[in-house]
Amino acid sequence: MLLFDMDVVRLFPVLYLLLAAASNAHPLSGYPPGVEEQLLALGDPGSSPYGSLWPLPQAVHTCSAILYVPPAEFTIVHGKGSTAGPWCLVLQDAFRRYYDYMFGRTRGKAVPVSGESSDRLVQLQVIVTSEDNECEEYPSVQSDESYKLVVDDNGAIIQANKVWGALRGLETFSQLIYEDSIGAHLINKTVITDFPRFPHRGVLLDTSRHYLPVKAILKTLDAMSFNKLNVFHWHIVDDPSFPYQSEVFPELSDKGAYQPYTHIYTFTDVRLVIEYARLRGIRVIPEFDTPGHATSWGKGEKDLLTPCYKADGSPSGTFGPVNPITNGTYKFMSDLFKEISFVFPDKYVHLGGDEVDFSCWKSNPEIAKFMADHGFGTDYRKLESFYLQQILGIVSSFGKGYMVWQEVFDNHDQLNPDTVVEVWKEKNYKEEMAAVTAAGFQALLSAPWYLNRIAYGQDWIQIYRVEPSNFTGTAKQESLVIGGEACLWGEFVDVTNLSPRLWPRASAVAERLWSSKEVTSIEDAYNRLVQHRCRMVGRGIAAEPLYVGFCDHEDNI
C-alpha cells in the first residue's frame, strides 16, 4: 500500500517546491502534432509528491523537513551490529559507486552549504541483519531484496536482511538526494519500507544478430541497477553468429562468430559480466536456443545440423535445425552444456525451443524413417519434443533448472515441475499465461514488452499499463507468475542505438514488476519518469527523452 501524508502537503506547500527543485527536467511548450493529446493529462514534470523515486517503493512517508548533505563530510558506513563488514565486496563496491553517483559532479568544485550544523546529514549507516548475509554468494530467484530506509534527525539508516536489499536501499537513498537552486545537496526526512512485487525482473539482450561490446553490456547492467531490475537474460548466440568462445569447442566461435578475435566473448569476458552483475544484485541467465536458431552452430560443429533435400531426393547443400536423430548430437550437447553449467553459476539456463522450421526435417529421408520407426507419423512436433526431452535431461543432470519459450509447453513436452515458461507471443498471451499457470508451471511475461518495436510519441505508456496478472485464473495461478522481461532483439539494434532504445522504456517495465499493483497513475509516473530519465543521463546512460526539454546534467553522454 502506498502511503503519503497529504495533510503535511497541504500544511507545508513548500514541500512541492522542494520536490520540484529535485527535478532535472525542464519541459518546453509547443507540442508537435499527434503528441499533445497524449500529454494533456500528464501535467508538468516534477509535481509528484514522491519526487523522482523510481520504481515507486511499496510505502513512502515523507515531510517538508529538510536536511543538508555536505559532500565533503558525508560518508556511507557499515552500521553497528551489521553482519556485513568491510570485507563484504558487494557493499564496499556499492558504497563507492553511490557516493560517486550522488556527489561525483562536485569533485574539485566549491559546493555551497546551507543551514546550521544540526540540520546536516553527514552519514548513512547500512545494517545487514541476517547472519547469512550472502556477501559471497550470487543472487537467485529466492533472494531477499527487502529493506527499510529512515532519514530523520538521528541520521540515515538502511536496514536489510541480505546484501541485496541493502543495494536496493542505496539506490533509493541516492534518488532522495537533490540540489537546490544554488547547488546545495538536500534530502527530506523520509521513511520507506520496500520490497519487490515479483522476484524475476529481467532485460534480454541479443548479442548474436549484432555483437554488443562488453562495455555496452556493463553499461546496461548499471542502468538495470538504477531501475532495480535483477536478471540479465543473455541471448548470447543465434542463427547469425556464435560469439560465445567455448573452451571445449573453440571452433564454434572460430567459425561461427562474425569475427573470431574481435566479436567474441571470452571466458574472461563472461566472468567479468557475471561478477559485475553480482555486485549489482543481478543474475545472469544465458540462453542457448536449439534445435532452431542454430545456423551458426553448424559452422563449427560438423554434422550437428540436419542436411536438407530437394524434391527429387537429392541433397540441397543447405542445412536446417539441429539433427535430432544422431547420437553425436547428444554427446556434443552434453559436453557443451557441462561447460555452460560450470561457466554460468545461476541455477537456470534458458534452452529456447521456439520457432522451429520443420521443412528441412520433412525433406530428409533419414528423419522420415526415424519418425516412422518411433510412431511419430507426420507430427514433427513429436520429433521436436523428443529432441528437447533429451536436452532437458542433459541440463538437469548438471543440477540446473531450465527456462523455455512457450512452444515447449505448447507441444506438451514433459517438463520438470520447476520449469519456467516464458510467454512471448503477443497474440492471446493472456490465455497462454492462464494455460501455463493452470498446468502448475511458473510463468514469465515478455509478450507485450518487446522493446525493439518502436513507435513515435509516448509509447512507454502502453508498456506501463500492462498487468502481468491480468488473465483469467485463480489466486494460486497468479502466484505462479514470477515476473517478466523487457526484450531487446538485435535485428536493428547494435551498440549505436542500444541504450536509447532500451531506456527509459525498460524503466516502465521495471516499475510494473517492482511496485504495488495499485501503482497505475500515468500522470504521476510521467512526472517521476522524466526526472528519473534525467538522473540516468547524469549517470552516463543515453536514455531517450520522453518529450521536449533538457536535463541539468547532460555532459556525461
Pairing of strands 155-160, 147-152: antiparallel
CB atoms within 10 A of CB 112: 15
Alpha-carbon Rg of the chain, whole angstroms?
A: 25
Q: Is there a contact between 416 and 426 (Cβ–Cβ < 8 Å)?
A: no
Whether a cis peptide bond, with omega within 30° of 0, leads into 240 is: no
* SS3 at position 115: coil
Residues in CB range of 423: below 8 A, 6 or more apart: 406, 429, 432, 433, 436, 443, 444, 445, 446, 447
What angle in degrees, to the nearest 10, is found between the helix axes of 214-226 and 267-278?
10
Terminal Cα-to-Cα distance of the chain (whole angstroms) = 37
* SS3 at position 467: coil
Q: Is there a contact between 201 and 228 (Cβ–Cβ < 8 Å)?
A: yes
* SS3 at position 90: helix
Residue with cell 501524508: 5
CB atoms within 10 A of CB 453: 14
Rounded Cα distance between 373 and 395, Å, is 27
Q: Is 355 a catalytic residue?
A: yes
| Closest alpha carbon to 305 in 324, 287, 289 | 324
CB atoms within 10 A of CB 109: 9
What is the residue-wise DSSP string for 270-334? HHHHHHHHHTTT-EEEEE---SSS-TTHHHHSTT-EEEEE-TTSSEEEEEEEE-TT-HHHHHHHH
Grid cell for residue 212: 554488443
Rounded Cα distance between 132 and 84, Å, is 9
Say which of 37, 73, 247, 355 is annotated catalytic. 355
440: left (phi over 0), alpha (psi -120 to 50) or beta: left
CA 81, 87, 89, 92 torsion: positive or negative? positive
Pairing of strands 348-350, 401-405: parallel
Residues in CB range of 18: below 8 A, 6 or more apart: 64, 66, 178, 180, 186, 188
Rounded Cα distance between 306 and 366, Å, is 10
**Residue numbers annotated as active site:** 355
